[in-house]
Structure 1
Amino acid sequence: MQLEIRPDPAEVGRARRWARSRLAGSGIQADEPLAETLILLVSELVTNAVVHTGCPAVLRLSLPGAAAEGATVRLEVADRSDRAPVPRCVDGDATGGRGLALVDGLADRWGWSAEGAGKRIWCELDRYAQSHGTATGCPAGAVAFGGGTACEGLAYEAV
């Protein structure tokens, strides 16, 4: 499943609604913690794409079937910007700059890879995982992040 995203901040809400509408068919209930986390991750990755690249993007969502216990949910946002995610140090008063640090804390795995003239940022959630934050299963050529931030206040921004 995929959704074309215009470089407009209003697209973030549309992306969240689109993702919510696909959850029920996969057996993920709207009030399940996985659903809430997934919607937050959609919001963060799509926000980064539309705010920091100024380019159209594509949101892809791979949801397990209703009977797939223990399956992995994969979220990808591909955009036409070749600029890699850049670490940012933010202070406690900053209103932004924590999006990918949040992804790092919530996803079981995440990373990014160059794709043609752009890039793809992805994250995965294990449906019944007990812990988060390990960077495993990265595709070849991908730069993976996981396991928590290296220093307090360090965040990542996709640009």
Structure 2
Amino acid sequence: MAIVLAQPCTPVPLPRRILPTRPGGCAVEYGSDPRLLKQARRWAWTASRLPRDQADPVVSIVDELFSNSLRHTASGLSHGTTWLEIAPYADRIYIAVTDRGTPPGCPSGEPRLLTADDDGVPSGFGLHLVDRLAVAWGWFGGSQCHTVWAEVVRPATGQKTLCVAEARRLTQARGRRKENL
């Protein structure tokens, strides 16, 4: 019987706090290790300052946007980084994920919602999740970095997560709309 020695585990690097761009916000910088997604989800819940049963939309959006930054941008290359920011306000929560832009040698792309007509694409419908959970979202930037942002309605104290239809109705009443900056 042969004895197989386990490979040594590489520790998951810790995120680094950075200055947020929004008042009252929290921001961190993560590396390119996909194992950091679990940490990012926990951080999103904590930074949202919501009870666990209300934080699912925030956590899901951060998970999708951070995954996209690792999969589709230079943030996923060795030594790549992604910045996450959450700013909770009285009526909404602002989420932003900033990546390191287009990888070298790749055509410049921009975040977009895929349709059923996009043939040969095995995945890429995650922004539909963001679109359904957020009352507003968009992106800005260029080849050096992209920031994809989203806003979700903050549920009232003791209320479960708002359904999207109700959240959109409230947001439209306040005059917000989806747009690219």
TM-score (normalised: structure 2): 0.61
Measure how far apart 1:119 and its partner are.
1.4
> How far 1:137 moved relative to its partner?
5.5
Unaligned runs of 5+ in 1: 145-159
How does 1:85-100 map onto structure 2 within 5 Å?
85-89=111-115, 96-100=123-127
Q: How far is the alpha carbon of 1:87 from its aligned partner?
A: 4.3
Q: Please state how far the C-alpha of 1:3 moved relative to its aligned partner.
A: 1.4
1:39 matches 2:75: no
C-alpha distance in 2 between matches for 1:89 and 1:117: 27
Aligned length: 129
Higher strand share goes to which structure? 1
Structure 1's 110 and 18: CA in aligned 2 closer, same or farther, altered over 3 A?
Answer: same
Mapped partners of 2:39, 2:47: distance in 1 = 13
Q: Which has the larger radius of gyration?
A: 2
* 1:84 pairs with one of 110, 122, 136: 110
Residue matched to 2:158:
none
Aligned to 1:143: 180
Query: RCO higher in 1 or 2 (8 Å CA, sep ≥ 6)?
Result: 1
Task: Say if 1:9 and 1:95 are closer, same or farther in 2 by CA, change over 3 A.
Answer: farther
Secondary structure of residue in 2 paired with 1:143? coil
> 1:87 and 1:126, CA in 2 relative to 1: closer, same or farther beyond 3 A?
closer
> Paired residue for 1:18?
43
Normalised by the size of structure 1, how large is the TM-score?
0.69
Q: How far did 1:75 drift?
A: 0.3
Q: Which residue of 2 aligns with 1:154?
A: none
Identity %: 29
**1:75-115 CA distance string (max 9 Å, x none):** 00011215311443458xx7631110110111000000116
Instruction: Compute the RMSD of aligned alpha carbons.
Output: 2.7
- Equivalent residue, structure 1, for 2:106: none
Q: Say yes or no: does 1:125 pair with 2:152.
A: yes
Matched, 1:103 2:143: no
- Does the 8 Å contact 1:7/1:51 carry over to 2? no
Counterpart CA distance in 2 for 1:95 and 1:117 is: 26
Give the unaligned 5+ runs of structure 2: 1-25, 76-80, 103-108, 156-161
For 2:95 and 2:130, locate their aligned partners in 1 and report how far apart those are by CA, in whole Å: 11
SS in 1 for 2:53: coil
Cα gap change, 1:36/1:95 in structure 2, threshold over 3 Å: closer, same or farther? farther
Supply the AA of the counterpart residue of 1:136: R
